């Protein structure tokens, strides 16, 4: 975590209420989710064998769910010393490597989570995106083959993106907070790149899979924040159906953005 307090977190601090301090304005919906039987909760938490074929890299992956949150927590690629935070919405997981013993800090990952494991994309700054997958250690028989097919299908069906541009981003918890979000393409790909939140002075990297985009703040007072959004015809999500982000050590909050140019 950054040494100085997060400006985004400070702006949200006023929304804390007794019994729901880590849930922000999502307290009602989160409380409803918490009331569901545990057996119905699908989680990414577990142990996996992960592979990034194009980088000739593999590692044991441990994903841990934060006890007082659902669909968020920390992860570790144990063999290469990569650590970070994650958040999941539906079956889509967003991950950012916050610290690394291998020089991977700031890299973002997106994936689809199933009972077999995870398939998705890694955004490599100044290079582009490459596929990755992870098989659950307790996956059903045939999981590796099914995941391999899913990776091949994703690789063949990854069309160009038009996510780059300028957006009016809204953070609706507490007093309404807005900022200008600017997404830029990478050198070799239109489906990943860098971004900045100009008012906050935050920046980082993003990667897209289908309609889902992950933004990881790696520079600025909000370093460590991982945002997950869904592309729409007008931008990312909406006031009625927001995207989510995790503020490590605080909780899960909402956001959405309208494209300006």
Q: Write down the pLDDT at residue 18.
A: 29
Strand partners, 170: 178, 256
Final residue belonging to a domain, choices 109, 136, 156: 156
128 - beta bridge partners? Answer: 124
What is the average pLDDT value for the chain, to the nearest integer?
A: 85
- Judge whether residue 40 has pLDDT over 90: no
- The pTM assigned to this predicted structure is 0.84
Same domain, 186 and 250: yes
Per-residue pLDDT reduced to its tens digit, 79-103: 999 999 999 999 999 999 999 999 9
| Percentage of the residues of the chain whose pLDDT score is greater than 70 | 82
- Is it the case that residue 221 has pLDDT exceeding 50? yes
Residue 216 lies in a domain: yes
- Tens of pLDDT along 3-37? 334 544 444 443 333 232 222 333 233 333 333 33
Q: Among 135, 156, 177, where does a domain finish?
A: 156
Q: Which of 31-40, 175-184, 243-252 has the lowest mean pLDDT?
A: 31-40
Of the three residues 156, 178, 207, the one that is the final residue of a domain is 156
Classify residue 2: in a domain, yes or no: no
Q: How many domains does the chain have?
A: 2
pLDDT at residue 179 above 50? yes
C-alpha atoms less than 13 angstroms from C-alpha of 199 in its C-beta half-sphere: 13
- Assign residue 237 a region: left if phi > 0, alpha if psi is -120 to 50, beta otherwise? left
Same domain, 140 and 192: no
| pLDDT digit string, tens, across residues 109-133 | 999 999 999 999 999 998 889 999 9
Three-state DSSP class for residue 92: strand
Which residues span the domain enclosing 192? Answer: 7-17+161-259
**Alpha carbons 138 and 152: distance in angstroms, whole number:** 23
Residues 70 and 131 in one domain: yes
Question: Residues for the chain: how many in total?
Answer: 261
For residue 1, pLDDT over 50 is answered with no
Identify the pLDDT of residue 102.
94
The answer to whether residues 177 and 148 belong to one domain is no
Question: Are residue 83 and residue 110 in the same domain, yes or no?
Answer: yes
Residue 51 pLDDT level (bands cut at 50, 70, 90): very high
Name the nearest CA neighbour of 103 among 119, 87, 74, 125.
125
- The answer on pLDDT for 71 being more than 60 is yes
The set of long-range contacts for 77-85, using a CB threshold of 8 Å and a minimum separation of 24, is: 77/50, 80/104, 82/107, 84/226, 85/224, 85/226, 85/246, 85/248
Same domain membership, residue 151 and residue 56: yes
| 3-state SS assignment for residue 27 | helix
Tell whether 116 and 147 lie within a shared domain: yes
Tell me which residue of 138, 145, 148 sits closest to 46, measured CA to CA.
138
User: Does 224 reside within a domain?
Assistant: yes
Confidence of residue 70 (pLDDT cuts 50, 70, 90): confident
Output the pLDDT for position 15: 35
Domain containing residue 127: CATH number: 2.40.128.120
Domain membership flag for residue 27:
no
CB 244 within 8 A of CB 17: no
């Amino acid at each position: 975590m950054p040494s100085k307090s997060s400006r985004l977190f400070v702006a949200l601090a006023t929304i804390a209420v007794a019994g729901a301090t880590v849930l922000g304005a999502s307290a009602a919906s989160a409380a409803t989710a918490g009331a569901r039987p545990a057996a119905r909760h699908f989680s990414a938490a577990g142990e996996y064998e992960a592979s990034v074929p194009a980088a000739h890299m593999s590692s044991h992956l441990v994903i841990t769910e934060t006890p007082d949150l659902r669909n968020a927590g920390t992860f570790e690629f144990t063999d290469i010393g990569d650590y970070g935070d994650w958040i999941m919405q539906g079956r889509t997981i967003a991950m950012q490597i916050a610290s690394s013993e291998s020089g991977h800090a700031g890299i973002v990952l997106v994936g689809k989570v199933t009972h077999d494991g995870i398939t998705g994309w890694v955004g490599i700054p100044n290079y582009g995106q490459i596929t990755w997958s992870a098989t659950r250690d307790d996956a059903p028989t045939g999981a590796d083959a099914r995941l391999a097919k899913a990776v091949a299908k994703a690789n063949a069906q990854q069309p160009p993106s038009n996510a780059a541009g300028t957006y009016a981003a809204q953070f609706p918890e507490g007093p309404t907070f807005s900022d200008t979000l600017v997404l830029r393409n990478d050198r070799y790909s239109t489906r990943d790149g860098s971004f900045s939140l100009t008012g906050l002075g935050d920046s980082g990297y993003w990667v897209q899979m289908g309609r889902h985009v992950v933004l990881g703040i790696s520079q600025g007072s909000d370093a460590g924040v991982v945002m997950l959004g869904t592309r729409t015809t007008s931008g990312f999500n909406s006031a009625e159906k927001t995207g989510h982000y995790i503020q490590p050590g605080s909780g899960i909050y909402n956001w959405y953005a309208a494209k300006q140019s």
